[in-house]
Amino acid sequence: MSNPFVRIVEPLDPKQPLKKFFNLSKLEDVRYARLPFSIRVLLEAAIRNCDEFLVKKEDVENILNWKVVQHKNVEVPFKPARVILQDFTGVPAVVDFAAMRDAVKKLGGDPEKINPICPADLVIDHSIQVDFNRRSDSLQKNQDLEFERNKERFEFLKWGSQAFKNMRIIPPGSGIIHQVNLEYLARVVMDQDGYYYPDSVVGTDSHTTMIDGLGVLGWGVGGIEAEAVMLGQPISMVLPEVVGYKLLGNPQPLVTSTDIVLTITKHLRQVGVVGKFVEFFGPGVAQLSIADRATIANMCPEYGATAAYFPVDDISIGYLIQTGRDKEKVLCTKKYLEAVGMLRDFKNSSQDPDFTQVVELDLHTVVPCCSGPKRPQDKVAVSDMKNDFETCLGAKQGFKGFQIAPDRHNSVVKFNFEGCDFELAHGSVVIAAITSCTNTSNPSVMLGAGLLAKKAVEAGLTVKPYIKTSLSPGSGVVTYYLRESGVMSYLSQLGFDVVGYGCMTCIGNSGPLPESVVEAITQGDLVAVGVLSGNRNFEGRVHPNTRANYLASPPLVIAYAIAGTIRIDFEKEPLGINASGKKIFLKDIWPTRNEIQAVERQFVIPGMFKEVYQKIETVNKSWNALDSPSDKLYTWNPKSTYIKSPPFFDGLTLALQTPKTIENAYVLLSFGDSVTTDHISPAGNIARNSPAARYLTSRGLTPREFNSYGSRRGNDAVMARGTFANIRLVNKFIDKQGPQTVHFPSGETLDVFDAAERYKQDGHPLIVLAGKEYGAGSSRDWAAKGPFLLGVKAVLAESYERIHRSNLVGMGVIPLQYLPGEDAGTLGLTGRERYTIIIPEKLKPQMKIQIKLDTGKTFQAIMRFDTDVELTYFHNGGILNYMIRKMAS
C-alpha cells in the first residue's frame, strides 16, 4: 500500500537526492507548531509509516488534533525506530523467540519469520554481582565469577545474535544499557533505508526513559510487548496528556543533579503523571548538561510518567560531538531537526508549545537531599536526615516506619571483624555503593565524588573496613576519566574500587555482607542502612539485611560511608576526627562547582569515548571464546536449569478460543498499595528455604550455584517458583512479612507457589487483590508471566503502573480496576470470598463488568483493556499467541 503523505517527501540535501525525509513543515497545518515536541515525534512516525492498514490517515489526524482529543482515550499506533534490551529481560525474550519459531513450524508456517524487523541491541549488564570488593583485583574476580555462573546463558545469547538478523549483543563488562545507549547507541536522528527520521526507542527496562534526556523519545515496555515490536507490530497507545515542566533559575553551588531529580520525583508524584508524558521546557533547562537531563529522565518511572522528554537543542548537538559521534552525521542531524522544526531553543518562549498542564520548579529552591528509607519519592533534605530516620524508627510499620520499640532505639551490638572490635546500631551504614547509570553517566557527580574522596584522604579520614563499599560505573569511559584526572587512587583508598561494569547493587546484585555483620544485625534486630547512587530502594531490593536504603548522589554516598551512620547532622557533627585529633566536617571536603567543572573540561574528551566504544563488541576475550550452535532452531537441553522451552504455546492452534467467565476463583494474595514488580518477581538472591531452591537442589545444584532469580529468567520452572517470593512481601492473609499465603480449602499456611499448585491441581482459578500503584517499578515481564503460570486469571486493583498493566494484557491476565471511590475496604472485601468474574460475549475497551461473590454480593469493576488492539490480544490469549497465529497464517 502506498503512503498518502509522499507529497511532503524531499531530499535533505539536493546533492544527495537518495537521502530523503518527510518534511513536516510542508504540512502547512497551524496545529503542528503548537504540538509538544514529544508528540511531534509520534506524528512523524505515524506519517512515515502510514499505509492505511496498521497506520491510517485518521491516526495522523488524531495526533495533529492532540490538543482536542488528548482527554478522550484516543488510540494511536506508534512504531519506534529501535528496541533495546538488557540480559535479565533479553534472555526470556530470546527464549520466547526460539519457542515461537518452534510453534510457527508446528502450525505449518516459516519459523524464520520470527525475526526482529527493526534494530535490536541487547546489553549484558544485569549478571555481574559484588562478590569481591575493597581489593585491586575485584573487577577481574567478579567478572570471572560472572562467566562461571552465566556461561550457559551467554552461550544462548550468542546463539541468538547469530540466529536472528538485526540483533546485536553488547558483551558483559561493557557497561550499563542506558549509559551505553546514551554514549554510543543513540542516533538522535536515524539514517536508514534512504530516509532521515527521529530516533525513538522502546526498551525492556523501565529506565529506558534515560535517553529522553538526549532528545530521543523512549520509554520502557514489557518484554512481551517489545517482542511484538521487534516483529513489526506497532505499539497501540492511548494518545497521552503532556505535562509541561517548566524549569527556572540556576541550581545552588552545592546542589547536584541527583538532588534535582529526587526533588522532581517527589513533586511529580504529588502532581500525578502516571500514563502521561512529561516535557521539560523553560530557561532553566539551558542550565543543565545532557548528563543532568539524562539523570532526571532516568528516574521517570519513579515519578510514574511514561516519558520525560527534553527536546533536542544545541547542548544536545554538542554532547554528540563530545562523545565522539561522527561530525558529518551530527551536522546532518542538526540540519534535519531544523528543517522539521524539532530543534529547541529553551530561552525562546515563542517556541513553547501547548501543554495539558504546566507545573514549575525554580532550580534555586533545590537543596541537597536523599530519598528513603523505602521509596524513591520519599525525599528528605540532608539537613533533616538524622531526625527523619529517628522518627521512622518508632513509626508504625510502613513506607516511613519500622515500628522499633522506643527502649530499643539506641541498641548497640558489638562484633568482631578481621580481628578488630566494632559496634553496629540502628542507622549504621553497611553498604555504600556508587552504582547505576542514573548517576555514573554524569561526569559532574562522579568527578565530584572523586574530588571529595581526594580531600577526605588528605584530611586523614577513612571508611570502616566492614562497610561494603563499591564503585560500578556505567561505562569504561568513567574509569578512564577518573583515572586520568588523578582521583581514582583516592576512591580506592576509601574502598571504592571498580568492582564491575553493570547494574550491580542498584538491582540487588550487591553480593554477601560479612557474616559477622549479618550476625550482629540479626542479633540486635537492627535497621541497618544501605546508601546508593541508584534509582530504586524498595524493600528487599538492595539487600535482605538492609531494611533502610537511601538514594543519594555519589559524593553523599562517600560522606555517609565515612560517617558510618545515617544518624548524623552534617552541619553540626563532624564526619570524623583525623589522627591529629582535628574534627573534619563535610563542608571542609565538599568540592566547589568551579573545581568540578574545571576538571571535567580538561579530562572528559571525545577521544575517550571513541577509544572505549570502537572496541566494545570485541574487547571481552571470554565472550569471544564462547562456542554457540549455528542452527536457526534452538536445540533445547532438558538438563539445563537456565534455558528451558516455556509452556506458553503448548497446545496452541490457529483457531481462537472464546474467553470464558472466571467462576468461583479463590484469592491467592491480598495486598495494600505500592506492590512492586520486585515483590511479584524478585531479581536477587534465591533464598535457601524457597520453592525455587528446593527445585534447584532436586536438580543437583548446591546453594553456591543457585545464582539469582534474574539470571534464571530463561527457565519458567524456577521463575514460577520465584513468583511472589520476595522476603518483604506483605500479604493481608498473613500476620508477618514473607512469601506465604493461606490455602483456604485446607486452612494451611504455605509458600505462595505451593498454595497455587494445590489450587491448580484441584482445578480452582485464582485472582489477586491489590491497592494503588500495583506493579510499580521495573518493567519485568515475569511479574506477569509468573502469576499466569500460577493460575492467576485476573488482578483486581485500585490502580496500575503503566508497564505492568501492559504486561498483564500481554499474557492474557485480566487487569480489573475498582470503580472510582471504591476499594476492597469500601466494598467490604476480605479476600476470603470466592469470585465469579462475568466476561460478556461482546467486549469493548474499558468496559464495566460484573463480579459476583459466593456471599451473594455483586459489584462492578472496569476491565482495563484500554484499546481495541489489547482486546484482540486478549481474544488470542496474549500478544505472543497473536503474533504466532499471524506469522503462521
Per residue in 785-805, pLDDT (tens digit) is: 999 999 999 999 999 988 899
Domain count, the chain: 5
Residues 432 and 363 in one domain: no
The answer on 468 and 578 residing in a single domain is yes
**How distant is the alpha carbon of residue 822 from its chain centre?**
30
- β-partners of residue 198 are 189
- pLDDT tens for 661-673 read 999 999 999 999 9
**Closest alpha carbon to 451 in 575, 562, 599, 578:** 599
527 in the same domain as 392? yes
Q: Taking 70 as the threshold, does the pLDDT of residue 185 lie above it?
A: yes
Q: What is the pLDDT of residue 776?
A: 86
Bond from prior residue into 373 cis (ω within 30 degrees of 0)? yes
Are 248 and 176 part of one and the same domain? no
Together in a domain, 406 and 457: yes
Cell (9 digits) for 94: 530470546
CATH assignment at residue 267: 3.40.1060.10
Residue 857 has pLDDT above 70, yes or no: yes
3-class SS of residue 309: strand
- Same-domain pairing of 776 and 854: yes
- 754 and 853, same domain (yes or no): yes
Q: Single out the residue in 591, 611, 631 at which a domain terminates.
A: 611
Do 866 and 884 belong to one domain? yes
Q: What is the CATH number of the domain that holds 483?
A: 3.30.499.10
For 25: left if phi > 0, alpha if psi spans -120 to 50, otherwise beta; the answer is alpha
884 contact partners, CB below 8 Å, separation of at least 6: 100, 103, 104, 107, 649, 652
DSSP of 375-407: -TT-EEEGGGHHHHHHHHHHSPSBTTB----GG
Please provide the size of the chain in residues. 889
Nearest one of 126, 120, 265 to 780, comparing CA atoms? 126
Task: Tell whether 536 is covered by a domain.
Answer: yes
Whether residues 374 and 484 fall in one domain: yes
Please say whether the beta carbons of 644 and 717 come within 8 A: yes
Q: What's the pTM value of the predicted model, to 2 decimals?
A: 0.87
Q: Does a structural domain hold residue 866?
A: yes
Distance CA 318, CA 322 (A): 6
Three-state secondary structure call for residue 106: helix
- For residue 810, the domain's CATH number is 3.20.19.10
| Distance in angstroms (rounded) separating the CA atoms of residues 229 and 264 | 31
User: 580: left (phi > 0), else alpha (psi -120 to 50), else beta?
Assistant: alpha
Give the model confidence (pLDDT) of 426-446 as tens digits: 999 999 999 988 898 999 999
Convert the pLDDT of each residue in 86-104 to its tens digit: 998 899 999 999 999 999 9
Residue 496 sits at the vertex; the CA angle it makes with 491 and 497, to the nearest 5 degrees, is 95
Q: Examine the domain organization and report whether 395 and 481 are in the same domain.
A: yes
Distance of alpha carbon 402 from alpha carbon 372, whole angstroms: 12
Out of 179, 210, 238, pick the residue that ends a domain: 238
Q: What domain range is 353 assigned to?
A: 240-311+346-367
Are 254 and 303 members of one domain?
yes
* Any domain includes 318: no
Q: Please report, as a single letter, which amino acid is at residue 684.
A: G
Residue 707 falls within a domain, yes or no?
no
Whether residues 67 and 167 share a domain: the answer is no
Does any domain span residue 324? no
Of 611, 628, 647, the one marking the end of a domain is 611
378 pLDDT exceeds 70? yes
> Does position 177 have pLDDT exceeding 90, yes or no?
yes
| Cα four-point dihedral sign 621, 624, 628, 633 | positive
Per-residue pLDDT tens digits for 685-736: 899 999 999 999 999 999 989 988 988 999 999 999 999 999 889 999 999 9
pLDDT of residue 628: 85
Is 779's pLDDT higher than 80? no
The rounded distance, in Å, linking the Cα atoms of 539 and 609 is 36
